[in-house]
Amino acid sequence: MGKYDAEVFVAGGGPAGLSAAIAARLAGFDVLLADRARPPIDKSCGEGILPRGLAILEELGVALPCERVRPFRGIRFADATGQADAIFPDGRFGAGVRRTVLHEALVRRAEEIGVRLQWGARVERWTADGVAVDGRSFRARWYVCADGQSSRLRAQAGLEPRRAPTLRKGQRRHFRIAPWADLVEVYWNDRGQLYVTPVSESEICVAYLTRHLAVRFEDALRDFPEVAHKLAGAFPTSPLSGAVTLSRRVRRVTSGNVALVGEAAGSVDAITGAGLTIAFQQALALANSMRAGNLSSYAAEHRKITRLANVLSEMLLSMDRVPALRRRAFRAFAADPRLFSGLLAIHSGPSPRVTNSAREMLSLGWHLLTA
């Protein structure tokens, strides 16, 4: 250790920071993580993890409690004109899990392998000696910024993006009711998307995403009478909570011995359902880069990890902004079910497949033009 208080210092104890800390510890580093909050840390999100994300959690040794997780086998898109289902290939499953349950599992694993955790500790700023936490400076060989989409450390490190992000609003509530589908359902209309994710055998998460910031959750439910009918009489098990979802790209994710992960490293709109999976992939890539002694490989891997999600995000947000385009896409999915399933396979598979993704995107573009 010598002159260091820790080999790796992680600022931020959400899923991105914890997975980065776990991966670094498994790579042999002494790791210190600090966060102002105390566990379990909650956040408004759709609470679905794609198969690729589950595989990485398994690789990190993070065990989700089976009784508090609900597997799902694919995605359903639905609007007033009909619906399209896509099933994960090769018998893979995603998992719906309450954000607090996921956070508890990550904390347990971090404690189990010896990550030093400082909760209730405010990470303040960079100093000449490292990073200030509650007025004390900590020195590390590597610094990991996982302090969210409004990261102050990112700005202080000179890694702040120049272009303003695309902003939408998300709202979430849980209901006690047995899931009626083994899919994550995404209901579309001209104002936004309503997500229904099973999170246990007796509970679902309902999340609403919209660019119309004045729309209330109750109004959104009335916009989707099929869901409202199914929820009639269901008991809410959580208060209504909200968050901003951003599409933001940063120019660089490393500077010297500083690396960004999670939403601090840029974000895709929650419409993709890929945020957690991207963070877990970044954690592995960053640990490998630190073990090699140079963060340049992480920067390259970060571009690969986010490329497909950015393309998919742009496509889905275009469908959100232009109803006619959405209707064309739904007709294309109905005309060729393999198209939707192929896109889902690329998005959720064990590894990015750039060649196949380009082919699928070109095929989708042709269908949209000719539908």
What is the CATH classification number for the domain harbouring 211? 3.30.9.100
Q: What is the pLDDT of residues 288-313, one digit of tens each?
A: 999 999 999 999 999 999 988 888 88
What's the rounded Cα separation, in Å, for the pair 371 and 367? 5
Residue 127 falls inside a structural domain: yes
Backbone Cα Rg of the chain = 20
Output the CA–CA distances (angstroms, integers) from residue 2 to 30, 113, 139, 340, 367, in the order listed: 12, 22, 10, 54, 61
Residues 234 and 253 in one domain: no
| pLDDT score recorded for residue 2 | 58
Residue 144 falls inside a structural domain: yes
| pLDDT score recorded for residue 366 | 59
Residues 191 and 235 in one domain: yes
Structure-token match 């998992």, residue found? 95
What's the rounded Cα separation, in Å, for the pair 105 and 49? 14
Residues 54 and 126 in one domain: yes
Q: How many domains, in total, are found in the chain?
A: 2
CB atoms inside a 10 Å sphere around CB 2: 5
Residues 188 and 125 in one domain: no
Indicate which CATH number applies to the domain containing 301.
3.50.50.60
Residues 204 and 314 in one domain: no
pTM: 0.93
Residues 223 and 132 in one domain: no
Q: What is the pLDDT of residues 1-55, one digit of tens each?
A: 558 999 999 999 999 999 999 999 999 999 999 999 999 999 888 899 999 999 9
Element (H, E) at 87: strand 82-87
Domain that holds residue 213: 166-245
Residue 58 falls inside a structural domain: yes
What's the rounded Cα separation, in Å, for the pair 324 and 328? 6
Residues 238 and 256 in one domain: no
According to DSSP, the residues that pair with 130 across neighbouring strands are: 127
Kindly state the tokens that stand for 19. 């997975």
Counting as low any pLDDT under 50, the low residues of the chain are 352-355
Residue 359 falls inside a structural domain: no
